[in-house]
Amino acid sequence: MDYELMETCKEIRKEIFMQAYHAGGAHLGASFSVADILGTLYFGGVLNYRPEDPGWKERDKVILSKGHAGAALYAVLAIAGYFDRAHLKTFCQIGSNLGGHPKINEIPGVEASTGALGHGLSFAIGIAYANRMDHRDSHVYAILGDGECQEGSVWEGALSAPALKLDNLTVIVDHNKLQAMDCLEHIVPMQPFSNKWKAFGWNVVEIDGHNCSEIKEALLTRKPEIPTLVIANTIKGKGVSFMEHAPIWHYRMPNEQELPVLMEELGITEQDLKEESVVRQ
């Protein structure tokens, strides 16, 4: 296990919460769930990118289809050096480009405007196909939510990518088994989930979505002429004990009793909050 990478992922969660604290809200559960996946992509030696040159033509691209977890992507991009970390304090403020969902051409490092669920996979397929037509070596990574996979457009994309033989495409499903209102299986059951993708012609890898070593190995997996689907088994709200596995934390802020617990578990100090309070006034 890469302990330095684990510490970076903890720092990502801290920055996610500080954005939410300043803004008064964010999709904390979904953002914490995907933090280790994004952290490993950007800081685990997987992704080819240049923060000083966001438009570098040979870069790999990450499409966060579950755009409601945008606070996680912003935290990662800031830590990676795409923009000043102090800018995270403007999250969801009037005049800020850091909105509740990512927007392309407004935020360095954001490759697609997302948030309308079900669109990101097809967008990623289009980029991967264009890369192949341009004889470009770049890889495309799309991160989907498992609840998002109830969208019909996801399964249209799931049919298309193997037909186009897009081995330069990796899709990661953040499989935390919860969606906005309840457990996934209580709304639209998805099992057998991996077998569905296999039947559509994908190379399917199933991992612990909070184990950085497993994540890295899966993200570097390739099979000739076959796209890869990584089912990352995660915990919604990961990193904060009272948020884990709880549907209520899809969009909610901690109360006075919960906040000290969160601060201890994420390594947030009173001084951190005081600095934020000055900004908020």
Confidence of residue 232 (pLDDT cuts 50, 70, 90): very high
Cα separation of 168 and 148, whole Å? 22
Mean pLDDT of 201-211: 98
Whole-number pLDDT of residue 2: 81
pLDDT digit string, tens, across residues 57-113: 999 999 999 999 999 999 999 999 999 999 999 999 999 999 999 999 999 999 999
Whole-number pLDDT of residue 178: 86
Whole-number pLDDT of residue 279: 44
Give the lowest-confidence range in 65-79, 159-173, 245-259: 245-259
Q: Which residues pair with 64 in a beta bridge?
A: 143
Q: Are 100 and 70 in contact (CB under 8 A)?
A: yes
Cα separation of 36 and 244, whole Å? 15
Whole-number pLDDT of residue 56: 96
> Which segments within the chain are labelled E, that is strand?
61-64, 140-145, 169-175, 203-208, 228-233
pLDDT digit string, tens, across residues 113-160: 998 899 999 999 999 999 999 999 999 999 999 999 999 999 999 999
Six-digit token string for 115: 């948030």
Six-digit token string for 202: 């994908």
Whole-number pLDDT of residue 1: 58
- Residue 71: how many other CB atoms lie within 10 Å: 30
pTM of the predicted structure, to 2 decimals:
0.94
H or E segment and range at residue 64: strand 61-64
Asked if pLDDT for residue 277 goes beyond 90, the answer is no
Mean pLDDT of the chain: 94
What percent of the chain has pLDDT above 90? 88
Whole-number pLDDT of residue 280: 45
**Which has the closest alpha carbon to 60: 139, 142, 168?**
139
Whole-number pLDDT of residue 186: 78
Residue written as token pair 């304090």: 89
Asked if pLDDT for residue 276 goes beyond 60, the answer is no
Q: Are 239 and 209 in contact (CB under 8 A)?
A: no
Mean pLDDT of 6-26: 96
Cα separation of 10 and 72, whole Å? 11
Residue 226's alpha-carbon distances to 53, 203, 214, 222, 238, in angstroms, are 30, 6, 20, 8, 31
Confidence of residue 278 (pLDDT cuts 50, 70, 90): very low
DSSP state for residue 193 in the 8-state scheme: H
Mean pLDDT of 42-60: 97
Full strand arrangement of the beta sheet holding 203-208:
61-64, 140-145, 169-175, 228-233, 203-208
Whole-number pLDDT of residue 181: 78
Cα separation of 231 and 165, whole Å? 20
For residue 164, what are the contacts with CB-CB under 8 A and spacing of at least 6? 125, 128, 129
Integer distance in angstroms from the first to the last C-alpha of the chain?
A: 42
Cα separation of 127 and 129, whole Å? 5
